[in-house]
Structure 1
Amino acid sequence: MSSISHKLSIKEKIGYSLGDLAANLVFQTLVTYLAYFYTDIYGLSPKHASAIMLTVGLIAAFGFNPIIGALADRTKSRWGKFRPWILWTAVPLGVIALLAFTTPDFSYKGKVIYAVVTYTLLLLLYAANNLPYSALSGVITGDMSERNSLSSYRFVAVMFAQFFVQVFMLGIIKSAGDGDKALGIEKVMTVLAIAGTIMLLITFFTTKERVIPKPEQKSSLKEDLGDLVKNRPWIIMLTLTMLIFITLAMKGGSYVYYFENYVDKENLAALIQPVLDFLSTIGLNHFGDDPISAGFGLFNAGGIIFMIVGITFSKRLADKYGKRDVFALFLFISTLFILAFYFFPPTSVMLMFISQILHGFFYGITIPILWAMIADVADFSEWKNNRRATAIIFSAMMVGLKAGLSIGGALTSYFLGVFDYIPNSTTQPDSAVNGIKLLVSIFPGIPFLIGACLLFFYEINKKIETTIEEDLKIRRL
């Protein structure tokens, strides 16, 4: 291994974090709007939307990610193993992200086929870009403190992407299309595609790979997979990642339905009006005149702002107490504020906002820790087996992410159909309203609770983190 300094400059940390900002302009749009886009804009039935999201998503998760991981680990170029993939996929990812949210003038069958093709290509290119990008965090530095710091930079960038998508995007879509949401989302995605491509190119040019496998290290794909199967921390992190993204996809994709069909509009308007008046006085008039869009945006804004606050505490707590213990505690606490939504009547808008803010703060503490723990699993594998296979370990985590996103999104559309949701209707049956309430509370709360319990079986605590880091430093010298 190389013995060069593993300290990172602020420029490199920012450059790396821009890659996640770009990827999350796509990812957060999928989490927040894909089900809504397919049912209420694109015109698919909940049944067909659910089938596409689940089938294509699982194929991508279990097919694309392992292949990309194996290829990335075996890539040799003057730029390293993982950086070239960011360069190669920057433009294609932007193009297909736009096409996936375009509504062509096709027959219903043609639309189904178009949705399958574009969503498949989007997930393929997202894997080819984001998996090597994520693996890059495991080789950009071998210093665990620097890795924690890098994760904090990275996920502040994630929060900015999430802030734009969840706070402003619904209002901008309606405004940009003059009421035509299909045209509006197409215009918005054009801008996001261009911006995302530029940011990915900046990531490529500002980062460097420092953890370089020894030239004599050679391993077959069979050996790499064998190491994974015997790696209990990896199995736990794979399962945990899937559970987390089931929750994020389910509640994230359901909030727009929750605001349009459950929250009392008069109480919402009364609560947010003073905030809108204040924002107007300082020149922030980006929420639109629709109280639902404005309320939805401010609701998400509160959660995201306090997620960012939570992220600022993450490194300090993880360095002091270890990633595992901090993750388990705050994941559990954040879940309590998801479950609380089941008990709120439509008029309790203030309690909804407070619960969202508290959930955001406590969940924010866990956000950087997840990916730093996955990088630790790569170190654990190298420590145990004396071979490093960073990308295939991260590919397994991407399997969990994609599978969780697909299952959570598909469950959202599926339960909407089960509970008799009527797309684009101003009134919904009681069964649909109750189903929407469950989709933002009980249903997404369950995977988080299981994940918190699962961390009790994760063996890389603070003491083992330190041992691994010290042993690997000696080996690399």
Structure 2
Amino acid sequence: MENVNTAVEPFGMKDKLGYMFGDFGNDFTFILSSSFMLKFYTDVMGVPAAVVGLLMMAARFVDAVTDVTMGQIVDRSRPTNDGKFKPWIKRMCGPVAISSFLIYQSAFADMSYGFRIVWMAITYILWGSIFYTSINIPYGSMASAISADPKHRAELSTWRTIGATLAGLVIGVGTPAAAYVVVNGNTVLSGPRMTIIAGAFSILAIVCYLLCFRLVRERIPVEANNQKLEVGKLLKSLVTNRALLGIIAAAVLLLLGMLGMQGMAGYVFPNYYGSAAAQSASAMAGSIVMLAVCAPLASKLSARFGKKELSVVSCAFGAAMYLLCLLLKPENPYVYVAFYTLAYVGLGFFNTVIWAMITDVIDDAEIKNGVREDGTIYSVYSFARKLGQAFSSGMIGGLLSLIGYTQATAFDPRVTSGIFSLSCIIPAVGLGAVALALLFIYPLNKARVEANVAELARRRGEAGK
């Protein structure tokens, strides 16, 4: 049986751009949530930070069911004329965008406290646990069906990161510039403006998803997995997969660090430094280093040194930059932006190659088990990333409450000093722990990845004879 569908055009720039637009669409809602949902509900809706963080963490128990269920649905679905994975993007782009928009309804700020809590819980779970899951898992799993060439997959990982970076640029730079207003000398978030911004980003997300559907081609046939589902066997396979456990640990810790940076930016710049412009500048600088440094160099450096090896060194560097910032405690917001940017270079290399590392994990599992389970493995990984997002938001919410942050104390010097310390400690600990997890748990170094690729090529060659 042939492994490659020759009826479609060869892999090329259309696929890279299409895959880029997929993550662009994802992050119009994901980055908005990780960067501004906590800020919106504490400062506009009057919900304590700890309550918002608790909701984000509690929703992950729902994800434990919905993510793996969606992975099984994808693995067991039959291919269509558009492929096995692409149809889900077209089906679910509307629901995920609409549910994201509903989260940021400032018109309900004067409703009862109970109503605001219920509205926040329902809309957040609809968006993150159901609709985002139903589009993100098939999108992430699709990389294996676009091309079997490891080089192509690394390029897809890079272009996916470019899409996320562009979304982060639009959200990180545009939102602070448009959403903040000055009231009585303080920089505060405008609820009505956030509602309009969320609606605009939802529309842009749909456009990006449809471009992904239009441009990407699935070339590698992935048949439906018709094996009987044995939950015990599946769980044993997953929990004994050291490569999967290693990348999960690293991904959770990466998100603690990265989303900690992004989430605390919404507090350290307007509250400690009093500068929404510096917050926009930090997002701009982070996006520039991702596009100008990490994206063009990640594939070359990982090809030479290995993805694991590159990621360990770069994340350790990012952690060191934040520790230095904590010690120096710069008074100028743009000096802080410089430390933020250098740390972003560190995490950026790992964040660029991580999607190719997931494909390495899927290959490694196929070597061991003889079964290709892209959807299931990716769903477990996706669930882990959501845990990282939730732990980050929950941790930030809890720590902000611990230092006494409320609407009334938002500009108290004691509280703002605590905000600065948290903005350095959270990413320093997260990125340092990423380096350790990759070094001591994740086993797929450069030599082993190359050996797995050669073995799978041999098996597929024999199957095609």
TM-score (norm 2): 0.91
Correspondence 1:341 to 2:343: no
> Quick check: 1:20 aligned with 2:29?
no
Q: Against the structure 1 CA distance between its residues 157 and 215, is the aligned structure 2 distance closer, same or farther, given a 3 Å change threshold?
A: closer
Structure 2 residue identity aligned to 1:357: T
2:351 matches 1:367: yes
Q: Residue 64 of structure 1 corresponds to which residue in structure 2?
A: 66
Q: Secondary structure at the match of 1:42?
A: coil
Q: Give the C-alpha shift of residue 227 in structure 1.
A: 2.3
Is 2:330–2:336's contact at 8 Å kept on the other side of the alignment?
A: no
Q: Is the counterpart of residue 151 in structure 1 residue 157 in structure 2?
A: yes
Moved more, 315-324 or 245-254: 245-254
Deviation at 1:433, TM superposition (A): 2.4
Matched, 1:442 2:425: yes
Q: Residue in 1 aligned with 2:185?
A: none
Contact 1:61 1:400 (8 Å CA) reproduced: no
Query: Are 2:236 and 1:242 equivalent residues in the alignment?
Result: no
Partner SS for 2:71: helix
CA contact (8 A) 1:77 1:84 kept: no
The amino acid across from 1:164 in the alignment is: V
Distance 1:421 1:216 in 2: 50
Partner Cα distance (2:406, 2:311) in 1: 39
Letter in 1 for 2:260: M
Contact 2:257/2:428, CA 8 A, preserved across alignment: yes
Shift of 1:117: 0.3
Matched, 1:52 2:55: yes
Asked if structure 1 preserves the Cα contact closer than 8 Å seen for 2:97 and 2:205, the reply is yes
CA deviation map 1:403-433 (0-9, x unaligned):
0100110111111111111326563151x22
- Greater shift in the superposed pair: 207-216 or 153-162: 207-216
What are the superposed Cα offsets for residues 333-373 of structure 1, whole Å, 9 maximum, x if unpaired?
Answer: 11111223322435143431221221122322222211110
Determine the C-alpha separation between the residues in 2 that align with 1:343 and 1:7: 52
Which residue matches 1:460?
444
Question: Are the equivalent residues in 2 in contact too, given 1:131–1:398 (CA < 8 A)?
Answer: yes
CA distance in 1, matches of 2:194, 2:42: 14
Which whole-Å deviations, capped at 9, do the CAs of 1:277-322 have from their partners, x for residues lacking one? Answer: xxxxxxxxxxxxxxx2212101221122112222211000111111
Residue 112 of structure 1 pairs with residue 117 of structure 2 = yes
CA distance in 1, matches of 2:33, 2:42: 13
1:82 correspondence with 2:117: no
- Following the alignment from structure 2 to structure 1, what is the Cα–Cα distance between the partners of residues 134 and 334? 42
Which residue pairs with 1:289 in the alignment? none
Task: State whether structure 2 residue 109 is matched by structure 1 residue 98.
Answer: no
- Matches for 1:28-43 after TM superposition, within 5 Å: 28-43=31-46
User: Which amino acid in structure 1 is aligned with residue 219 of structure 2?
Assistant: R
The yes-or-no answer on 1:254 pairing with 2:264 is yes
Aligned with 1:388: secondary structure?
coil
Match of 1:227 among 231, 234, 237: 237
390, 394, 397: which is aligned to 1:406?
390
More moved, 225-234 vs 124-133? 225-234
Contact 2:294 2:352 survives alignment (8 Å): no
- Is 1:307 equivalent to 2:290 in the alignment? yes
Matched residues in 1 for 2:240 and 2:433: separation?
22
- The answer to whether the 8 A contact 1:90-1:197 is kept is yes
- Shift of residue 219, structure 1, vs aligned partner: 5.3
Supply the distance in 2 between the matched residues of 1:345 and 1:451 (Cα, whole angstroms).
24
The one-letter amino acid of 1:471's match is: E
User: Quick check: 1:16–1:207 contact (8 Å CA) kept in 2?
Assistant: yes
**1:332 pairs with one of 288, 299, 316:** 316
With 213-222 and 189-198 compared, the bigger mean Cα shift is at: 213-222
Distance change in 2, residues 1:112/1:163 (3 Å): same
Distance 2:265 2:362 in 1: 35
- One-letter amino acid matched to 2:406: I
User: Which ranges of structure 2 fall in alignment gaps of 5 or more residues?
Assistant: 182-187
Residue-pair matches, total:
448
Identity of matched residues, % = 23
Counterpart pick for 1:397 among 381, 390, 409:
381
Match of 2:135 among 112, 125, 129: 129
Are 2:147 and 1:141 equivalent residues in the alignment?
A: yes
- For 2:12, the aligned partner's letter is S
Cα distance, 1:444 vs. partner? Answer: 2.6
Match of 2:184? none
Residue from 206, 219, 225 that aligns with 2:215: 206
Q: CA, structure 1 residues 387+219, in 2 after alignment: closer, same or farther (shift >3 Å)? A: farther
Larger CA deviation: 399-408 vs 240-249: 240-249
Question: In 2, Cα distance between the equivalents of 1:452 and 1:139?
Answer: 30
Measured in 1, the distance between the counterparts of 2:408 and 2:281 equals 23
What SS does the corresponding residue of 1:262 show, helix, strand or coil?
Answer: helix
> Do the aligned partners of 1:312 and 1:365 also contact (CA within 8 Å) in 2?
no
The answer to whether the 8 A contact 1:341-1:437 is kept is: no
SS at match of 2:142: helix
SS in 1 for 2:372: coil
Between the aligned partners of 1:142 and 1:225, the Cα distance in structure 2 is: 27
CA distance, structure 1, for counterparts of residue 123 and residue 458 of structure 2: 48
Give distance in 2, aligned partners of 1:336 and 1:180: 32
- In structure 1, the partner of 2:4 is 3
Structure 1 residue 119: deviation in Å?
0.4
Partner of 1:288: none
For the residues of structure 2 that align with 1:296 and 1:126, how far apart are their CA atoms? 27
